[in-house]
Amino acid sequence: MFSVPDGGSRRYGRALEIHSPVIDIRPCQAWGALGPPSSRYAVTVLPRGVPPAKPGPEMPRSTFYFDLGSPYAYLAAERLGTVLAEPIEWQPVLLGGLFQLAGRSSWSLGEPRRRAAGMAEVERRARGYGLPPMRWPDPWPSNYLLAMRATTFACAAGLGREFALQAFRSAFQRGEDLGIAENVLRAAEQAGLDREEVQAGAADGRIKRALREATDAAHALGVTGVPTLAIDGECFWGDDRLEEAAARLAEVRP
C-alpha cells in the first residue's frame, strides 16, 4: 500500500491509498472518491479504513482512455459529459506506450502534408463542436511523461477529470507546452491540487509503475489509441465515436 504524505491527507481530507498485490490503480472516477471496482490496475481513493467498493453487476463500466498530448482526446474530453451518462471513469494511459506495443507511430510525427491535414481536421472538428479556436503548443507533440504521471496522481486525489480538463485547455486553447513542468503544475493548481504534492507524487516510483501498468492493461483490453471509450470492455476509438459509445451504453445499462 502507498499513502500520500500526511500533508496530502490533510489537504484532501482522506488518505490516498493504492491497494494491490502488485499495485492497484483505479481509473479516475468522475463521480467522486468511491465507486465501482476496476481491474487490478485501479487507483483506490478511500477514507482511512474503508475497503474498496464491491462490484455492482447491474452497472456496466464506462471508461475513457486518454493522453494529454492527443488533440482528439481533448475534443472527446470536452464533449464527454454531455454525450455519455455518468459515471464515467477517466483513465490516463501513455499513447507512446500504446504505439510501441502496437508497432506503429503517430500521424503527428509523419510527413508534413499528412501532419498538416491532421491538424486542419482537428481544427475543423473543434469549430463544429463549438469549442474555442485551437492554439497549438510549440513544439507539438512534446514530452508528456511528467504530465501523465501528474494525471495519475490527480486521479488518486479524486481530481483526475478536473486536472485533465485544465491541462487539455492549457495545451489546446492557450497553446502551452505540457512538456514544461510549470505549465503542468499551474493546471494542477487550477484543478484544486497542491503543486508541491503533485510534483512529489509524479516522481514517486509507484505512480510511475501504475501508469505503465495501466497502459499495458489498456492494450490488453484492445485499446490501440486515444481517445478510446470502453463500454463493458467493448472499445470505441475516436472522438467521433462518442455517440456510438453512448448508444451502446444505453443498450447495456439498465
* pLDDT tens readout for residues 31-60: 333 232 233 333 443 333 333 444 455 567
CATH, residue 136? 3.40.30.10
User: Which residue in this structure is represented by grid cell 456510438?
Assistant: 244
* Average pLDDT along the chain: 83
- Render pLDDT for 188-233 as a digit per residue (tens, 0 to 9): 999 999 999 999 999 999 999 999 999 999 999 999 999 999 999 9
Contact in structure between 60 and 252 (CB atoms under 8 Å): yes
* Range in 40-44, 171-175, 239-243 the model is least confident about: 40-44
Q: Give the integer Cα–Cα distance in Å for 69 and 95.
A: 8
Whole-prediction pTM value? Answer: 0.80
User: pLDDT per residue over 89-99, tens digit each?
Assistant: 999 999 999 99
Q: Helices in 139-204 by DSSP H: which ranges?
A: 145-156, 160-172, 181-190, 195-203
Segment 232-242 shows an average pLDDT of 96
Look up residue 138 and give its three cell numbers. 510549440
Cα gap 192→161, rounded to integer Å: 11
CA 98/CA 100 separation, integer angstroms: 5
- Structural domain including 227 reads 2-252
| 253 confidence band (pLDDT: 50, 70, 90) | confident
Q: Are 163 and 200 in contact (CB under 8 A)?
A: no
d(CA 156, CA 36): 15
Residue 197: which of 159, 167, 142, 169 has the closest Cα?
159
Q: Is the pLDDT of residue 24 over 50?
A: no
26-30, 43-47, 88-92, 247-251, range with the lowest pLDDT? 43-47
Contact present, 239 and 72 (Cβ < 8 Å): yes
* Structural domains of the chain, count: 1
| Residue 11 clears pLDDT 60, i.e. is over it | no
The predicted pLDDT at position 53 comes to 43
Q: Which residue has the higher pLDDT, 38 or 174?
A: 174
For helices 195-203 and 145-156, give the axis angle rounded to 10 degrees.
110
